[in-house]
Amino acid sequence: DVKVTQSSRYLVKRTGEKVFLECVQDMDHENMFWYRQDPGLGLRLIYFSYDVKMKEKGDIPEGYSVSREKKERFSLILESASTNQTSMYLCASTPGGANQPQHFGDGTRLSIL
Amino acid sequence: QKEVEQNSGPLSVPEGAIASLNCTYSDRGSQSFFWYRQYSGKSPELIMFIYSNGDKEDGRFTAQLNKASQYVSLLIRDSQPSDSATYLCAVEGGFKTIFGAGTRLFVKA
């Protein structure tokens, strides 16, 4: 089974801090994704990457950046955390090619105070 | 913008009944369709996928796809309290997957 591991289940940070969320997958997947999930809004794509050092903006990239230095690791960075970034963050991966389902990590519930 | 629409619910059914969850999508070129189940506080898990028009059955679950109507549904037969969760419809959109906001299902014992 694919294992997608997110570094923290719960995280509390203060406004203005730089926050790093880490995600590692163990199945050599080409594609990796970061979503945030808020009640009533569903899953919204922040950024995705289809190869090492490649990144593409999703639907809500503002206030975020990403890094993919190694194939198995995809990091989400909140450059200067704000309270409206309090949310559940989900990392996912898929193999290369079309028509692939997403494999999700357990999620990180981030609170910005 | 590509969209996936679901009724947010909650949908409440008695134990043993059939639960019917529906989803419409806007991109006529979409080829792959997925249903995920998400328990409260957990991450989504894949339960069904369908690529061709018609029905696809897996145990108590049946996915139905009608590309002409841009409609996909999930039927859960003999619903159990353990099926109580939010069900997310997802549609392939190139590299990305477009998710609906989900339908909450309650199965009453």
Name chain B contacts of A102, Cβ cutoff 8 Å.
Answer: 34, 36, 44, 46, 90, 97
Residue B57 forms contact with A (CB below 8 Å): no
Calculate the CA dihedral of residues B72, A58, A41, B41 and round it to 10 degrees. Answer: 90
At a CB cut-off of 8 Å and minimum separation 6, what does B93 contact? B2, B27, B30
Span of A11-20, A75-84, B24-33 with lowest mean pLDDT: B24-33
Q: How close does chain B come to A15, measured CA to CA in Å?
A: 24
* Cα–Cα distance measured from residue A72 to residue B71, given in angstroms and rounded to the nearest whole number: 35
* Cα–Cα distance measured from residue A15 to residue A34, given in angstroms and rounded to the nearest whole number: 21
Span of A59-63, A96-100, B37-41, B88-92 with lowest mean pLDDT: A96-100
pLDDT class of A2 with cuts at 50, 70, 90: low
Tell me the per-residue pLDDT of B60-99, one tens digit each, with 9 for 90 and over: 999 999 999 999 999 999 999 999 999 999 998 777 889 9
* Residue with more model confidence, A62 or B93: A62
Amino acid at B49: F
Residue B32 forms contact with A (CB below 8 Å): yes
Which residue's structure tokens are 């009453």?
B108
Residue B19 forms contact with A (CB below 8 Å): no
Which residue's structure tokens are 């009640």?
A39
Which residue's structure tokens are 């990239």?
A61
- Is residue A45 within 8 Å of residue A36, measured between CB atoms? no
Given an 8 Å threshold on Cβ–Cβ distance, is B32 in contact with A90? no
At a CB cut-off of 8 Å and minimum separation 6, what does B41 contact? none
Q: Is the pLDDT of residue A1 over 80?
A: no
